[in-house]
Chain A
Amino acid sequence: KAGVTQTPRYLIKTRGQQVTLSCSPISGHRSVSWYQQTPGQGLQFLFEYFSETQRNKGNFPGRFSGRQFSNSRSEMNVSTLELGDSALYLCASSREGGSNQPQHFGDGTRLSIL
């Protein structure tokens, strides 16, 4: 069974640009969540999508947005990139969401802002 797939694995951008990251969940999983991992702030929740609807959102500025398609694949977009957006962005999927369901993580996209 294929795991969560994130593309690309690495990205280099400059300040002011925008970027789109992609996540394909495990087959049959309908909930997709995004997390940002940095050395200073650790792992922080960005948002969760379920059935193409944003169901939960963390404390990030509006520059961070996402969407989910009918096949459960999800994309995350960051506009007007800042140096502080350099991070590992992790996507996780679960079958239906919910607090007692484990989330399965991809290997992440490492975004570097120059």
Chain B
Amino acid sequence: GNSVTQMEGPVTLSEEAFLTINCTYTATGYPSLFWYVQYPGEGLQLLLKATKADDKGSNKGFEATYRKETTSFHLEKGSVQVSDSAVYFCALSVATSTASKLTFGTGTRLQVTL
């Protein structure tokens, strides 16, 4: 089956520190990969995506590269801000049909302090 494994949180960083949140996946087909972010009391917002190997998704200073050889999609940001504090979810969707089904990791809580 399909699965996503994320590093356990919480991750606590000082403002302007470098962020890495690890994500690895197992998929039966050729997945598209996503990072979503959830702020308190809200739904999920798409942060970035990559649909094929070696693609790099980027948005708001966050980046992730689709690595097929290591089945990974690690999230990085060079300098975090307090406003980046949220829960981050790695997710995949497999191209076996036209159906949409996201398989999520457990989420990683990021806390950024001044």
Interface size class of A (residues with CB under 8 A): 20 to 34
A52: interface (CB < 8 Å): no
Stretch at the interface among A12-20, A62-70, A79-87, A92-100: A92-100
Nearest CB in chain A: distance from B12 CB, A: 20
Cβ B42 vs Cβ A107 within 8 A: yes
A28: interface (CB < 8 Å): no
Alpha-carbon separation in the docked complex, A42 to B96 (Å): 24
Nearest CB in chain B: distance from A112 CB, A: 15
Interface residues of B in 74-110 (CB under 8 A from A): 89, 93-107
Contacts between the two chains (Cβ within 8 Å), count: 75
Cβ B94 vs Cβ A105 within 8 A: no
Cβ A45 vs Cβ B103 within 8 A: yes
Cβ B41 vs Cβ A107 within 8 A: yes
Alpha-carbon separation in the docked complex, A58 to B45 (Å): 22
Cβ B42 vs Cβ A48 within 8 A: no
Known pairs A45-B101, A58-B101; A100 contacts B32 (CB<8 A): yes
Alpha-carbon separation in the docked complex, A32 to B59 (Å): 25
A102: interface (CB < 8 Å): yes
Cβ A99 vs Cβ B34 within 8 A: no
Q: Which residues of chain B are within 8 angstroms of A27 by Cβ–Cβ distance?
A: none
Cβ B102 vs Cβ A45 within 8 A: yes
Cβ B98 vs Cβ A33 within 8 A: no
Interface residues of A in 38-57 (CB under 8 A from B): 42-43, 45, 48, 50, 55-56
A24: interface (CB < 8 Å): no
Contact among B45, B89, B97 for A43, CB-based, below 8 A: B89
Known pairs A99-B32, A100-B32, A105-B45; A48 contacts B101 (CB<8 A): yes
Q: Mark B residues whose CB is within 8 Å of A.
A: 31-32, 34, 36, 41-46, 49, 51, 89, 93-107
Sample of 9 A–B contacts (CB below 8 Å): A43-B104, A56-B99, A92-B100, A98-B95, A99-B32, A99-B96, A104-B46, A107-B42, A108-B43
